A and B are shown apart, each in its own frame.
Chain A
Amino acid sequence: MKEIYIIIINLLVLNCVSAQGKFLTKDGYVSFFSHSVVEDIKADNNQVLSIVDSDTGEIAIQLLMRSFMFKKALMQEHFNENYVESYKYPKATFTGKIMKFNELDELKGETEIVGTLNVHGRDKEISTKVNVEIIKDEIILKGDFSVEVADFDIKIPAIVENNIAKTIKVNFELRHKPYK
């Protein structure tokens, strides 16, 4: 009888472990910020899709460029139509890995996230610090990094050159829930 209990308990524990698997969010947050002498520009995206494989620490993020909301409608229009050409490249993606993910069990920690960012159809290797929080059934990733506009072949017309920073700061906050 005792053995049966042990087997059942073992099975339950094993089930929990395998249930870890994939974590997902469909309403992650990504924003970017450009500071220049002329003006500050900020845009928020609250519809970011992100999937984390908690066994390996692999991560895949996708977002729609058109989901970036600007304060000024004109900026949003220029951003989509002229700069990032959303009709040709509707998505930005990131695929990579959260380093030392398995050592970060059930606690707050800082680690590195390494991978490829694709914006405007161009790839760029990125590595940045990330704050990882693992609470029961949630994996929270927070952080920021900087990207160069020129790395993504985004052309800014000379007339507004001074309005847009060469280096853009990107913020992210992704709260993943278990994927059923």
Chain B
Amino acid sequence: MSGKRFNIILSLFLLVIIGLVFSIIYYNKPHANIEKSKPDYSLTAQQLIEEYKEQGIEAEKKYSERIIEVQGQIHKISTIKGNSVITLKSSDSDSSVMCHFLPEENTNVLKLKNGQVVKVKGKCTGYLLDVIMVRCILVE
């Protein structure tokens, strides 16, 4: 009888531990790994800007919080707090796509020059004057 009781207590205890471990893993789940994630959309800087300008909230629903791949010509390379920022300009608009890079991409970004065409993967956060992307990496 006491053996059965012991077993019940032990299994309850194990359940609690398993539950705890899972909730800790869930609580500490990491940010999406940009490098390993497959992009939800792949398009040019110009297409992305046009969609945000023309469709507003529809584009917002489609792209914001998604991992996307954007191709465009480098207009400007700058740094902010030690992280690189590349501005991809579209040819027929004042707006651009501002790509804020992950710190580990710095050495690769610094090799680039204005005018070069690049492909960038990152998370889109929305549109102010420009489309903004964060946690970016260089694809090519």
- Chain A residues with CB under 8 Å of chain B are 26-27, 29, 46-47, 49, 62-64, 66-67, 69, 72-74, 76, 80, 86-87, 90-91
Closest 8 CB pairs of A and B: A66-B125, A64-B126, A73-B31, A67-B125, A49-B128, A27-B80, A64-B125, A47-B132
We find that the number of chain B residues with CB closer than 8 angstroms to chain A is 25
Bound-state CA distance A91–B83 (Å) is 24
B134 touches A67 (CB 8 A): yes
A-contact bits for B58-91, CB 8 A (1 contact / 0 none)? 0011001100000000000000110101000000
A-contact bits for B111-135, CB 8 A (1 contact / 0 none)? 0000000000000011111101010
Bound-state CA distance A163–B103 (Å) is 30
Which residue of A is nearest B57, CB measured?
A90
Which residue of A is nearest B129, CB measured?
A49
Cross-chain pairs A/B with CB under 8 angstroms, 15 sampled: A46-B80, A47-B100, A47-B125, A49-B128, A49-B129, A62-B128, A64-B126, A64-B128, A66-B65, A66-B126, A67-B134, A73-B30, A74-B28, A87-B64, A91-B128
